[in-house]
Amino acid sequence: GKPFVATPARTKEILSKYQFTFKKSLGQNFLVDVNILSNIIRHAGIDKSCGAIEVGPGIGALTEQLAIHADKVVAFEIDQRLLPVLEDTLSDYDNVRVIHRDILEADVAAVIKEQFEPEQPVHIVANLPYYITTPILMKLLRENLSISSLTVMIQKEVAERMAAVPSTKSYGSLSIAVQYYTEAKVVMNVPKTVFMPQPNVDSSILRLVMRDKPPVEVNDEDQFFDIVKASFSQRRKTLLNNLTSFWNGRLDKDAISAVLEAAGIDGRRRGESLNMQEFADLANAFTGK
């Protein structure tokens, strides 16, 4: 039959047939390397029992491989111009649903309930548009979806921040936010050459496995995340100084020192040295303040 969509020749043929012009503003960098796609599918743990959700199918490079390896694929695409292209490139597969919607606006929980079997494992797999990687991932993580994992191609530096451990350069509030919901791992770095057009940044495949429950107990999640963010707001400042700026007079420095002491955390430390349990202890010590 036809070569896969994710080959340079077939992609060029499709692009020229539809006179498609890339929109940089939508993060359109299409994959043209079947080997990379095999790696994504393998790391995602996809098999014929699984449902797959894709964000941004483009012209269907990854979608086609998901259709071959999964039971069913549901893909959200914002760019209307791609709908007729996908209808064409995926016409051989009867297990794909394309939904024309901005993923940030989509009711993903309702779609999962509607499109997949109740007990079916569902995985999110995507080559994400880089301009909104973090908003997309945080939306999907916060909504308490019935999904098993997310395996995503994203900017290398962002992947490293999401998977970072304490006391490293990449560790920050994004590491805590992502690892509160998932076990995060960078599984592979990917060269620019596998994309058309080639992006300006390097990429990595990030694997996120959903946790059954958060690894720490916090009294108030919003306050926990606020305090984590505040602790990193000026990386070179001490915890005491960052938290003093955060409370902005609503709690004075002595009161903040007392809370730090109650939590068993030295205020002279920097945010980057605290692990998630220490941030939870710290936030919980501020409960009700």
Q: Which stretch binds ligand SAM (CB under 6 A): 71-79, 114-122, 159-167, 213-221?
A: 71-79
Which of 41, 46, 53, 78 is in the footprint of ligand SAM by CB under 6 A?
Answer: 78
Query: How far are the Cα atoms of 162, 165, 183 from residue 169, in angstroms, in the given order?
Result: 12, 9, 19
Q: How far is the CB of 249 from ligand SAM (least distance, A)?
A: 39
Look at residues 88, 105, 123 and name the one whose alpha carbon lies nearest to residue 2. Answer: 88
Q: How far is the CB of 26 from ligand SAM (least distance, A)?
A: 4
Q: How far is the CB of 39 from ligand SAM (least distance, A)?
A: 13
Owner of token pair 């609503």 = 250
Which of 79, 183, 220, 226 is in the footprint of ligand SAM by CB under 6 A?
Answer: 79
Sheet with 149-155, side-by-side order of all strands: 96-100, 72-77, 51-55, 122-127, 149-155, 203-210, 182-190
C-beta closer to ligand SAM: residue 5 or 280:
5
Q: Hey, what amino acid is at 223? A: Q
22-51 residues in contact with ligand SAM (CB under 6 A) are 26-31
| Residue 103 is a binding residue for ligand SAM (CB under 6 A) | yes
Strand pairing of 203-210 and 149-155? antiparallel
Query: How far are the Cα atoms of 35, 134, 146, 270 from residue 15, in angstroms, in the given order?
Result: 21, 28, 35, 51
| Residue 173 is a binding residue for ligand SAM (CB under 6 A) | no
| Residue 127 is a binding residue for ligand SAM (CB under 6 A) | yes
Owner of token pair 């060029």 = 12
Positions that interact with ligand SAM (CB under 6 A): 26-31, 55-58, 61-62, 76-79, 82, 102-104, 127, 129, 132
Q: Which positions make up the binding site?
A: 29, 31, 56, 77, 102, 127
